[in-house]
Amino acid sequence: MKHMKKLVTLLLALIMALALVVPASAYTVDNKTDHAYKAYQIFSGTQSTESKPALGDVKWGNGIESAKFLTALKADTRFVTGDKNIFAACTTAADVAAIMAKEQDKSAVAKAFANVAAQYLTNTAVAIAAKKTTSDVVLNPGYYLLVDVTTPGKGDAMNSALLQVTGKGNIIIEQKYDAPSVDKSVKDTDGAWGEAADWCIGSNVPFQLIGKLPSNYDDYESYKYVFHDTLGAGLQYNGDVKVYVRNGEKDTELTTGFTVAPDKAATAGGGSLTITFDNLKTVASVTSTSSIVVKYTAKLLNTAVIGQPGNPNEVYLEYSSNPNFSGTGTPPTSETPKDTVLVFTYQLDINKVDGTTPTKKLQNAEFKLKCIAAEKEATWNGKWVTVDANNKVTGWADTQGKGSTLITNANGLAQVIGLDAGTYELYETKAPGGYNKLKDPIKIVITATLDKTEDNPALTALTIKVDDSAAEKGDVTKGTVSTTVTNNSGATLPETGGVGTTLFYIIGGVLMVGAAVLLVTRKRMNNTK
């Protein structure tokens, strides 16, 4: 127990007047928490029965190595007032108790006192089981250090040592287990942070981690604090982590005190990323009310999942969990539950059919797609999509000519895979042979409904609206929306034997008659000469 140091919360009810003394009585402990404790007696004595009970005949208890403890008190600079240590003249337990009787609950001196005491505990203690509400746990009059001995689970932490004095009735333990938390969010193209967002393939998606600290952060001598971040296979870390301390509404960037370590997979797609503070206490600006903020971006790759279940990005915190720990080595740690955000992207199917016979699929129609209304965080507003050989988005061009040509296959299908929700214009640049090209672009609005606030974010609805038609449902699971584009055939040329042929014959005959007349006329003129 010598490795225990400092305290998470402190219940100090200490009123010691070293005069009036009566025979001792015993007091029970009511532990209302689900953590187990051990009670170490720092001072023993006899207890008065006045309305404000006092502890008399104060001696060292059996739970403390008194000589070492007293030496440590005198050497600790936290007890120096002016130029003198407040325990400098103390030689007995009664001397120390008299000094402590002047302190208030949760004072800096009281916290430091419990901090030092936790380093010099003996093996003699009274065990207090979790949820112990019976009276068979008995403490004799005295001054005790209650130490949490429960190994914390996920999302949990040990409580600090509690200073308690008997005399006001039974001791009741109602402490709150204080552990940090982490929240992860992803920025959508509308600028809002939430649990889900949608982006185009190739986009650099912003992520943010906000880590909270326990209210008893000051009770730790050192504090390990590690963000463990895992990217889905469709996300590639861009190597641009920035770390801030947030106090109130002000973020101050940190450049030291931490390390950033992505694994090899993180820079290729997927993998993990850790941001480690071996000892957060070295960062002077951090207090119990501070937050640690981590920001970075990851590229949405062409391997991204289209539609549901999306592309996950999750984080958990590893943190120091025993405020009583001291000494060398690695401090005990625990973990928060994981927090997951999702990034979605979608697919547009363009079906080209004959205007008269819709079942007839038209091959070799050519299109260009332009984004005309993107959100403020998007960079492709007013630009033309470019795609690879698999029809997956590769980027956005400033001019139509540099945009990719989307060509319908034998099934009359052209695709754009990896689009954000938004408003687009589809231009037909070349009609299939024998068909008329569309004069005007087709307006396409893709709308996605995302659950951004729940613990389990999801894509809940996906629709497409074409020109003035009603919106139609897309496939949420596949992440696809589709539109059908019709083409009408061009003007029909006259067939043999038709009016056109007759007209040709008539015109030809007239020309022949005219030529004959001209010939006869010329001959007569020549004969006259």
DSSP string covering 469-503, please? SPPEE-BTTTTEEEEEEEE-B-PPPPPTTSHHHHH
pLDDT of 54 over the 90 cut: no
Distance of alpha carbon 268 from alpha carbon 279, whole angstroms: 30
Name the band, by pLDDT with cuts 50, 70 and 90, for residue 324: confident
Joined together, the tokens standing for residue 451 give 């659950």
Counting residues of the chain whose pLDDT is more than 90, the rounded percentage is 58
pLDDT band at 168 (very low <50, low <70, confident <90, very high): low
Tens-digit pLDDT profile for residues 349-394? 999 999 999 999 999 999 999 999 878 888 899 999 999 999 999 9
Q: Is 159's pLDDT higher than 90?
A: no
Confidence of residue 101 (pLDDT cuts 50, 70, 90): confident
- What pLDDT shows up at residue 203? 95
| pLDDT tens-digit series, residues 239-296 | 999 999 999 999 999 999 999 998 877 677 888 999 999 999 999 999 999 999 999 9
Q: Average pLDDT, stretch 153-173?
A: 74
pLDDT band at residue 96 under the 50/70/90 scheme: very high
Q: What is the pLDDT of residue 237?
A: 93
Q: Give the span between the Cα atoms of 171 and 158, in whole angstroms.
A: 19
User: Is 356 within 8 Å of 190 (Cβ atoms)?
Assistant: no
Kindly indicate the confidence band of residue 172, based on its pLDDT and cuts at 50, 70 and 90. confident
Largest separation between any pair of C-alpha atoms in the chain = 169
Cα dihedral 353/357/361/365 (nearest 10):
-40
Torsion of CA 187, 192, 196, 197, to 10 degrees: -70
Mean pLDDT, residues 4-11 taken together = 32
Rounded CA separation 194/172 (Å): 41
Structure-model confidence comparison of residues 142 and 479, the more confident one: 479
pLDDT at 3 over 50: no
Sequence spans of domains, the chain: 27-173, 182-196+203-337, 346-487
Tokens of 277: 């503070």
> Which one has a higher pLDDT value, 69 or 22?
69
Which of 181, 207, 179 shows the shortest CA–CA distance to 193?
207
Tell me which H or E stretch contains 340: strand 339-344
Classify domain 182-196+203-337 by CATH number: 2.60.40.740
pLDDT-wise least confident of 48-57, 273-282, 327-336, 337-346? 48-57
Question: Which residues partner with 451 through β-bridges?
Answer: 458
Each residue's pLDDT tens digit, 453-505: 777 899 999 999 999 999 999 999 999 999 999 988 865 445 544 444 444 44
Do residues 155 and 2 make contact, with C-beta atoms less than 8 angstroms apart?
no
Strands 196-198 and 339-344: parallel
Listed range (10-24, 244-258, 420-434, 440-454) with the worst mean pLDDT: 10-24
Comparing 21-30, 110-119, 190-199, 335-344, the range with the smallest average pLDDT is 21-30
Tell me whether domains 182-196+203-337 and 346-487 share a fold: yes
Low-confidence winner among 117-121, 326-330, 512-516 (lowest mean pLDDT)? 512-516
What does DSSP assign to residue 34? S
Q: Enumerate the H helices of 263-392 as residue ranges.
A: none
Looking at domain 346-487, its CATH architecture is Sandwich (2.60)
Q: Identify the pLDDT of residue 505.
A: 41
Task: Compute the mean pLDDT over every residue in the chain, rounded to the nearest whole number.
Answer: 84
Single pTM value for the model? 0.80
pLDDT in tens, 126-139: 888 888 766 667 77
Asked if the model's pLDDT at residue 230 lies above 70, the reply is yes
pLDDT of residue 4 exceeding 50, the answer is no
pLDDT of the residue at 52: 61
- Give the pLDDT score at 514: 52
Most confident region among 148-152, 284-288, 322-326, 451-455 by mean pLDDT: 284-288
What is the pairing mode between strands 442-451 and 422-430?
Answer: antiparallel
Is the pLDDT score of 213 beyond 80?
Answer: yes
d(CA 162, CA 128): 13
383 vs 404: CA distance, rounded Å = 11
The pLDDT assigned to 321 comes to: 92
- Per-residue pLDDT for 231 more than 50? yes
| pLDDT (0 to 100) of residue 502 | 43
What local confidence, expressed as pLDDT, does residue 139 receive?
Answer: 79
What is the average per-residue pLDDT within 413-417?
98
pLDDT score for 328: 66
Residues 6+ apart with CB under 8 A from 133: 30, 31, 32
Mean pLDDT of 398-425: 97
The percentage of the chain sitting over the pLDDT mark of 70, rounded to a whole number, equals 83
pLDDT digits (tens, 9 = 90+) for 288-318: 999 999 999 999 999 999 999 999 999 999 9
pLDDT at 128: 87
pLDDT for res 53: 62
More confident residue, 105 or 143: 143
